[in-house]
Amino acid sequence: MKKPTVHQHTSVKSSVEGEMIDYTKFEKARMVGSRALQLSMGAPFLVKVSPEELEKMRYDPIEIALKEFGEGVIPITVRRPGEWKK
């Protein structure tokens, strides 16, 4: 018998609304991946990152995107099906 799927949630404070929002691991992966692509194409960082931190992160856009996600400054929103009807 299969176990029911349980989605892990990650709470992040939204910079736009200033409230805590729970994202599933799938939403987080989509947002971080999209932001990492933007960073790899030359988008500016939205967090202060020292040269030492960049060396530690090995200039990895995914690590930088994760740092931005953790601080709640990624400019990407999630629209869920239940939120469309108002």
Contact 23, 12 (CB under 8 A): yes
State the pLDDT at residue 18.
67
Please check whether residue 82 lies inside any domain of the structure.
Answer: no
Please check whether residue 80 lies inside any domain of the structure.
Answer: no
State the pLDDT at residue 7.
53
Per residue in 26-77, pLDDT (tens digit) is: 999 999 999 999 999 999 999 999 999 999 999 999 999 999 999 999 999 8
Please check whether residue 1 lies inside any domain of the structure.
Answer: no
- CA dihedral sign, ordered 21, 26, 28, 30: negative
Per residue in 2-16, pLDDT (tens digit) is: 554 555 667 676 655
Please check whether residue 85 lies inside any domain of the structure.
Answer: no
Whether 85 shows a pLDDT value over 70: the answer reads: no
**Residue range(s) defining the domain that contains residue 44:** 10-75
Q: Tell me, what CATH number does 62's domain have?
A: 3.90.940.10
State the pLDDT at residue 54.
95
- State how many domains the chain has: 1
Please check whether residue 3 lies inside any domain of the structure.
Answer: no
